[in-house]
Every structure is written in structure tokens, then in C-alpha cells.
Amino acid sequence: MKAIFISYNQAYGKEIAEILNFNGQRGFTQWNDVCGQGTADGEPHFGNHAWPTMNEAILTVVPDDKVASIMKDLRKKDSDTPELGIRAYVLPVEDSL
């Protein structure tokens, strides 16, 4: 199993969860109103008067065979609207409960 951590502009709304659902991945944990800024480019997302936008984040644990398809769909979404920004990281899951 793998964990996929996804951080994205809140303008995507439910679209990221829909990508998971489309790929047969039901379970996830979502955080709203997440602050941050990218390492290379893009505007900061701090939710204040200077930088008013915010991010959201999702953590989902998926079977190994779903990772490539989910990442492919996230990359497509990011390339369609690069100004919004999506970051996704795949991590090993060593144990779960």
C-alpha cells in the first residue's frame, strides 16, 4: 500500500476527491484552509489580505496498483490549470490499523 498526500488550491473544490472516486478510491482524509507556498514559483496561499487564497490537502492510502492511475489523473489536472497548482507525494505505508 501507498499513501498519497495531495496539496492543491481550494479553487479545485471537490475535483480532487472526484479523481480519487473515479479511480475507485473511496477513503481519504481532507484538510481545509491549509496555508503554504511553493518551492519554485506560484503565489503564496496564506488566507490574509495580501495573499488571500488558501489550499486544501488530502491524504489517501491506496493499493499499489491504483497509484499510477491516480497520479496520471492528478498530473493531467495540474497541466490543464497550472496556475492553480497541485502537489502530490507518494509515500510507503509500512503498517496500518
- Give the CATH number, domain containing residue 36: 3.30.70.120
Nearest to 55 by CA among 9, 14, 6: 9
Range of the domain at 12: 2-92
**Confidence at residue 64, expressed as pLDDT on a 0 to 100 scale:** 97
Q: Specify the amino acid at residue 91.
A: L
* CB 38, CB 87: distance < 8 Å: yes
**Confidence at residue 46, expressed as pLDDT on a 0 to 100 scale:** 83
**Domain assignment present for 97:** no
Mean pLDDT per 10-residue section of the chain, whose length is 97 residues: 96 95 96 85 80 92 97 97 91 95
**Confidence at residue 82, expressed as pLDDT on a 0 to 100 scale:** 87
**Domain assignment present for 19:** yes
**Domain assignment present for 39:** yes
DSSP assigned state of 28? -
**Confidence at residue 16, expressed as pLDDT on a 0 to 100 scale:** 97
The total domain count for the chain is 1
Nearest to 36 by CA among 22, 53, 50: 53
**Domain assignment present for 44:** yes
**Confidence at residue 50, expressed as pLDDT on a 0 to 100 scale:** 83
Cell digits of residue 8: 492543491
